[in-house]
Amino acid sequence: MAFSAQADSLPSFIKIPEDQTGISGGVASFVCQAVGEPKPGITWMKKGKKVSSQRFEVIEFDDGSGSVLRIQPLRTHRDEAIYECTATNSIGEINTSAKLTVLEEDQIPHGFPTIDMGPQLKVVERLRTATMLCAASGDPDPEISWFKDFLPVDINGSNGRIKQLRSGALQIESSEESDQGKYECVAMNSVGTRYSAPANLYVRVRRVPPRFSVPPTNHEVMAGGSVNLTCMAVGAPMPYVKWMAGEVDLTKEDEMPIGHNVLELTDIRQSANYTCVAMSSLGVIESTAQVSVKGLPKPPTSLTVTETTATSVTLTWDSGSPGPVSYYVIQYRAKASDSGFQELDGVATTRYSIGGLSPYSEYEFRVVAVNNIGRGPPSNPVEAHTGEQAPSSPPILVRARMLSASTMLVQWEPPEEPNGQIRGYRIYYTSDLDAPLSAWQKHNTDDSLLTTISGLTPDITYSLRVLGFTSAGDGPPSDVLQVKTQQGVPAQPSSFKAEAVLDTQILLTWLWPVQDPISKYELMYWEANSDDKIHVTFAPAGSYVVEGLKPDTLYKFSLAARTEDGLGTYTQPIEARTAQSSVPRPSFQLIQQAPSPCPSGGFVADDRPMFL
């Protein structure tokens, strides 16, 4: 009998960290891998001490061969150091190190890599090809590499399934669920290293949604009769099956069978619809059976939509019953709504106009006949689409920044109540806020959500408003947003709101201006019946709590953002009243990152939206 054993050996590095130059606020990653017998452990040291910080993260390789030291966000001076990787086993230890240099934005030298196009969120079906795009520039031309879930992508270990294209893009063939994760592309040259924003890749596994193998069928019974309704459904996973009468569940949730359900009906006195519902994680389907009691009216026929406006639909139909009909009931609902049918009772004719509908919406209609015995089953439904109106709300999240001293970039999101298809937008702007809107300059654009306005006068304050329009007309304009025509100076914070938190505190929230990094915010507030204004500055944030206020007192607030290039325009004052001191104090929690203390007596929380 022969056997062999691998001899113990000192660790040796198979991948060592490389010197890097990063940007303040950016990312740096050092990779260190080693082999040996026994398998060595990897530790990271900075200035002779084991690294420990909320911004420092050590990510282990799945095979235990080493780890990645990731630092994010980088801080100038604080993070500049020599970082040492130590590989240790029972035989001994070895060391290697790399230097990290961190530059401020204004120190970035010529040729430093720039990510021209980073990866975007992508969903791909399993076994299909996924391509994560990346393009970068610099001098010299940077080399592009990829990280997945903060570990370098092992292209060589994928048996050719994962390739990096000449453009820098990462191509993943025959995608598996294991390929799902957060991807970053990294551009590096001799000048420095820059990371893209991360983007998630989701791999969707094809499954079979539910379908009816035996749908329920219609039945006619005599008054007082009985019937069994059978419903069967299949899918992967197999669906649960239940019965409903209108909005009422007839199957208990804890007794819901899988695949097959029989509804036993006895002593039937009136016609009704019974709906079989099959549901799984992949969807919900419905099929309805009519149980008709003989002698009740038949469903009306030839239901037709003859006329539509933005808020009304006109229907006509035939009786469908040989006997007399006392009246009709019109049932209707918006298809986009989860609620049941609304009813119009007592309709005496076979033509009727339903008003009070929402513009540019899809509706479903059906008609029920009623005689002296009772209510019959509904007609087959018809659908109608109401016409357009002008938008009833303005575009939201309007924001702007200066591309140069005379060119402004404006962005927005569509109105919440468009009442139709938005055909385009009008941007009104002026340097005279008191002038009527009709006297403002106007810039038209298509249905895109951003535009540039050129030829502005430098070093003055412009006011701008944005409205959307449909084929039916213009909607209302947005609130005034003011911008200084000075490059680098931020616009007003938008969506500035105030809300009482306690009897001595008011929470302020806003959206960040679309601008280069904000250096700080400047807040003025005062009692509504006083001219004594209090001035507060604080670090960049998306909210701020003003403390030490008087109970049951009306305050006014005005906010401006500042960059290194100057102070932006203050918002128009908003008002909020503190709670009465006798009211019990509610619990309050910011759903944001952990707050940091602010020397002005409040606190801030980082809630920064991501805009272009």
Three-state DSSP class for 107?
helix
Mean pLDDT for the stretch of residues 315-341: 89
Q: State yes or no: pLDDT of 2 exceeds 60.
A: no
Please tell me the distance from the alpha carbon of residue 429 to that of residue 453, in angstroms, as a whole number.
Answer: 9
Please tell me the distance from the alpha carbon of residue 493 to that of residue 571, in angstroms, as a whole number.
Answer: 7
Residue 382 confidence (pLDDT): 94
Tally of helices (H runs) and strands (E runs) in the chain: 0, 54
Residue 227 confidence (pLDDT): 94
Please tell me the distance from the alpha carbon of residue 23 to that of residue 29, in angstroms, as a whole number.
Answer: 13
DSSP summary character for residue 294: B
Please tell me the distance from the alpha carbon of residue 400 to that of residue 494, in angstroms, as a whole number.
Answer: 10
Judging by beta carbons within 10 Å of its beta carbon (0-12, 13-18, 19+), is residue 438 exposed, middle or buried? exposed
**Class assignment of domain 208-293?**
mainly beta
Query: What is the 3-class SS of 532-549, one letter each residue?
Result: CCEEEEECCCCEEEECCC
Helix (H) or strand (E) holding 562: strand 554-563
Q: What is the DSSP string of 378-400?
A: EPPPEEEE------SS--EEEEE
Q: State yes or no: pLDDT of 607 exceeds 80.
A: no
Three-state DSSP class for 254?
helix
Distances (CA, A) of 374 to 58, 174, 259, 537, 588: 74, 61, 34, 73, 55
Name the residue among 155, 152, 162, 158 with its Cα closest to residue 131: 162
208-293 matches 396-484 in fold: yes
Architecture of domain 494-605: Sandwich (2.60)
Residue 513 confidence (pLDDT): 64
Residue bearing tokens 């021209």 = 116
- What percent of the chain clears pLDDT 70, i.e. is strictly above it? 93
DSSP summary character for residue 323: S
Q: Cβ contacts of residue 99 below 8 Å, gap of 6+?
A: 19, 20, 81, 82, 83
Backbone angles phi, psi at 120, to 5 degrees: -120, 160
Q: State yes or no: pLDDT of 587 exceeds 80.
A: no
Judging by beta carbons within 10 Å of its beta carbon (0-12, 13-18, 19+), is residue 172 exposed, middle or buried? buried
Mean pLDDT for the stretch of residues 323-348: 89
**Residue 298 vs residue 6, higher pLDDT:** 298
Please tell me the distance from the alpha carbon of residue 126 to that of residue 605, in angstroms, as a whole number.
Answer: 40
Name the residue among 143, 130, 128, 114 with its Cα closest to residue 181: 130
pLDDT 10s digits, 434-477 = 999 999 999 999 989 999 999 999 989 999 999 999 999 999 99
Please tell me the distance from the alpha carbon of residue 553 to that of residue 556, in angstroms, as a whole number.
Answer: 10
Residue 531 confidence (pLDDT): 85
Judging by beta carbons within 10 Å of its beta carbon (0-12, 13-18, 19+), is residue 586 exposed, middle or buried? exposed
Q: State yes or no: pLDDT of 600 exceeds 70.
A: no
DSSP summary character for residue 140: S
Q: State yes or no: pLDDT of 518 exceeds 80.
A: yes
Give the pLDDT band of residue 542 (cuts 50, 70, 90). confident
Q: Cβ contacts of residue 372 below 8 Å, gap of 6+?
A: 326
Mean pLDDT over each residue of the chain, to the nearest integer? 88
Long-range Cβ pairs for the range 336-339 (8 Å, 24+): 336/361, 336/362
Would you identify the CATH topology of the domain 301-385?
Immunoglobulin-like (2.60.40)
Please tell me the distance from the alpha carbon of residue 488 to that of residue 100, in angstroms, as a whole number.
Answer: 29
pTM: 0.42
Q: State yes or no: pLDDT of 246 exceeds 60.
A: yes
Residues in the chain: 612
Q: State yes or no: pLDDT of 496 exceeds 60.
A: yes
Residue bearing tokens 């294991």 = 178
Give the pLDDT band of residue 582 (cuts 50, 70, 90). low
Residue spans of the domains in the chain: they are: 9-107, 114-204, 208-293, 301-385, 396-484, 494-605
Would you identify the CATH topology of the domain 396-484?
Immunoglobulin-like (2.60.40)
Strands in 162-164's sheet, in edge-to-edge order, are 130-132, 170-172, 162-164
Match domain 9-107 to its CATH number in 2.60.40.10, 3.40.190.10, 1.10.600.10, 3.30.470.20: 2.60.40.10
Mean pLDDT for the stretch of residues 248-254: 90
Residue type, 506: I
The two structure tokens encoding residue 446: 């298509």
DSSP summary character for residue 596: E
Question: Does the bond joining 73 to the residue before it have cis omega, within 30 degrees of 0?
Answer: yes
Residue 440 confidence (pLDDT): 95
How many Cβ atoms sit within 10 Å of the Cβ of residue 490? Answer: 30
**Residue 593 vs residue 204, higher pLDDT:** 204
Q: State yes or no: pLDDT of 514 exceeds 80.
A: no
Q: State yes or no: pLDDT of 603 exceeds 50.
A: no
Residue 515 confidence (pLDDT): 57
Residue bearing tokens 């616009």 = 491
Residue 116 confidence (pLDDT): 93
Three-state DSSP class for 529?
coil
Match domain 114-204 to its CATH number in 1.10.530.10, 3.30.420.40, 1.10.10.10, 2.60.40.10: 2.60.40.10
Mean pLDDT for the stretch of residues 496-524: 86
Residue bearing tokens 């606190």 = 603
How, if at all, do strands 554-563 and 574-577 pair? antiparallel
Strand-pairing partners, residue 561, are 521
Distances (CA, A) of 539 to 132, 522, 595: 35, 9, 11
Mean pLDDT for the stretch of residues 483-494: 84
**Residue 322 vs residue 422, higher pLDDT:** 422
Residue 516 confidence (pLDDT): 63
Q: State yes or no: pLDDT of 606 exceeds 70.
A: no
